[in-house]
Structure 1
Amino acid sequence: MYAISELAKLTGITAFTLRYYEKIGVLPKPRRHNGEGAGIRTYSEADLQMIRFIHGLKLSGMKLEDIAGFTGDGCLLTNPDMPEYDVS
């Protein structure tokens, strides 16, 4: 499990941006340590893969609104039976 600061270092995306992506629906709400509202965000390896994928879409020029629609409709990377790929 990763804290948001660790995830920011691994992806090159600031913690502020990760929180913003969560707020606008580009990223799903993360698990929280010590409670749902005030707990510390924790991210899994699958979350890291998803964030790298989203970052790749953003770098390709896709708008955040389009990314949110794409990932919100059940992106293939959210399927636990799919093998993990390095999309960084």
Structure 2
Amino acid sequence: MALTIGDLSKATATKVETVRYYERIGLLPKPARTQGNYRAYGQAELGRLSFIRRARDLGFSLDQVRAMLGLSDDQACDCAGIDRIAREHLQEVERKIADLTALRRELTAVIQSCDGGTIADCRIIEALGPSAGI
């Protein structure tokens, strides 16, 4: 069963332009063409694009996705390479969470330091930098 680019787009919630972009950068193989020169996709491309979308939704970079696809193309390959990529990504996610937690603490403290009043006495403006020229 051949899928058009529109069908593939809808089935994976991926914009048509993104599908074309993934083809241009080699994440998706160039599809077969119909006699009318339309792209024709099959289940393999649907599965591959679904994998790409899910990986991107989880925050993996295009380079990480490319590496995982390359490793997964060899079914006999040990999964240690994919495990390493996933563990590195998890470490990056945990670092970002720590950064955001620190940011939340700092913003909470700055907001709580505000007693109201005029801008001239605003603790938030002061905390953000009295030399800001505001």
- Native 8 Å contact 1:26 1:72 kept in 2: no
- Native 8 Å contact 1:32 1:40 kept in 2: yes
Q: C-alpha root-mean-square deviation of aligned residues, in Å?
A: 1.8
Indicate the residue corresponding to 2:44 in structure 1: 46
TM-score normalised according to structure 1 size: 0.72
Give the counterpart letter for 1:19 in structure 2.
Answer: R
Q: Mark the runs of 5 or more structure 1 residues left unpaired by the alignment.
A: 77-88
Deviation digits for residues 21-49 of structure 1, max 9, x if unmatched? 110111111111138xxx21111122111
Kindly, what percent of the aligned residue pairs are identical? 36
Give the counterpart letter for 1:3 in structure 2.
Answer: T
In structure 2, C-alpha distance between the alignment counterparts of 1:41 and 1:56, rounded to whole Å: 23
Deviates more, 1:14-23 or 1:40-49: 40-49
Q: Which has the higher helix share?
A: 2
Q: Relative contact order (alpha carbons < 8 A, sep ≥ 6): 1 or 2 greater?
A: 1
Q: Mark the runs of 5 or more structure 2 residues left unpaired by the alignment.
A: 76-134
Number of matched residues? Answer: 73
**Aligned counterparts, 1:1-88, within 5 A:** 1-34=2-35, 39-73=37-71, 74=73, 76=75
Q: Which protein is bigger by CA-based radius of gyration?
A: 2
TM-score normalised according to structure 2 size: 0.49
- Native 8 Å contact 1:31 1:43 kept in 2: yes
